[in-house]
Structure 1
Amino acid sequence: MYLLGGIRLGLNLYLAQVNTFNLFSLYGLGLRYIEYRLIEHQILHPWVVN
């Protein structure tokens, strides 16, 4: 019973790590996308100050 609880706790911790990692990678992708759009905007319309 105790062993099962330990495995479960470990699994929960592992899943939490995976979830935070996924959140961070999504956040990173979002930032990169925004950055790309801003750069693209500046290249295409340098006279537009946005």
Structure 2
Amino acid sequence: MELQRYIDALYRHMLAFVADPASTDDESGLRHYKHMACNMAFICDMMARDNK
């Protein structure tokens, strides 16, 4: 997967969260902070694999 995809998703969910911390993603119904955590985990894993 492309790293930039997850960075973009993290940013999109972060902006939504900052605007309304209780907001949910229209597509999944999950709160945006949960998507932020998941995307950050993916980013960390991808970057760790690239640095080996």
Please say which structure displays the higher CA radius of gyration. Answer: 1
Task: Name the TM-score, length of structure 2 as normaliser.
Answer: 0.44
More contact order relative to length (CA 8 Å, sep ≥ 6): 2
Task: Name the TM-score, length of structure 1 as normaliser.
Answer: 0.45
Please identify which structure carries the higher helix content.
Answer: 1
